[in-house]
Amino acid sequence: MANDPRASVRPATMADLAAIGYVSHQTGLLGEPIDRFFPDESLWTDALVRGYLETGCCNYVAAPAGEVSAYVIGSCDHQAFLRWLGRRLPGVIGSGLLRGRYPHFLRDLPYLWRAWRSHGQEAPWDRYPAELHINALPAARGLGLGSALLARFLECLRRRGLAGVQLGTTVRNEAALRLYEKFGFRVYARWRSEFWKPYVGEAVEHLRLVRELP
């Protein structure tokens, strides 16, 4: 079992927030670090990770060497997550600003503004009520952690009786696309977006993937 990636997977807790935020920040630019465009890792964590740990479900981390190097986080109730964004997130960010947690806030704002204005295509939430985000540090890729995490996540959703799950990704995320295909995800919609153009120099094709949970 020592080399079994499943052995390193455990449920995520709020105590893992900073570690998950670090992995997310290190992979935020289409799998690469995004610190050049979004230097405040703490703001990235508060804005893009915290809500899933506070309101989400079926969150897991993989820590093969005792430190979190991969995760899957998600939501089972999209409306509850939206309520968290509307009610809690402004206070979280306001408190962080007052405490000086985001020293490069003005440099972070362009990304946040683009993310807020960007509305990709979504599958119907009544048919696919769950969503997920999964990432791993470069050194942790190819070890089977993604499969171990996704298997635990999907089984958790099944136990909760959810009808389906959806996620957003891009065609550049080739390794993840192979993982999603392995687990039965299919393309629901695809569209070309200018969102990443300031960061990678060109528009990128986005995908909305879905999976039923019989």
> pLDDT tens digit string along 12-29?
999 999 999 999 999 999
Domain containing 76: what range? 5-212
| pLDDT digit string, tens, across residues 165-189 | 999 999 999 999 999 999 999 999 9
Alpha carbons 74 and 146: distance in angstroms, whole number: 14
Based on its alpha-carbon atoms, the radius of gyration of the chain, rounded to whole angstroms, reads: 17
Average pLDDT of the segment spanning 49-78: 96
Q: Are 204 and 30 in contact (CB under 8 A)?
A: yes
Written as one letter, the residue type at 200 is V
Q: How many CA atoms lie within 13 A of 179 on its CB side?
A: 21
Give residue 139's Cα distance to chain centre: 18
Per-residue pLDDT, 1: 47
Alpha carbons 25 and 135: distance in angstroms, whole number: 10
Per-residue pLDDT, 65: 86
Per-residue pLDDT, 181: 98
Per-residue pLDDT, 2: 52
Domain harbouring 175, CATH code: 3.40.630.30
pLDDT at 129 over 90: yes
Mean confidence (pLDDT) of the chain? 95
Number of separate domains in the chain: 1
Q: How many CA atoms lie within 13 A of 109 on its CB side?
A: 6
Measured CA to CA in angstroms, residue 204 lies from 13, 20, 154, 196, 197 at distances of: 33, 25, 28, 7, 7
Bridge partners for 60 per DSSP: 11, 72
Planar angle of CA 156, 161, 210, nearest 5 degrees: 75
pTM of this prediction exceeds 0.75: yes
Q: How many CA atoms lie within 13 A of 47 on its CB side?
A: 22
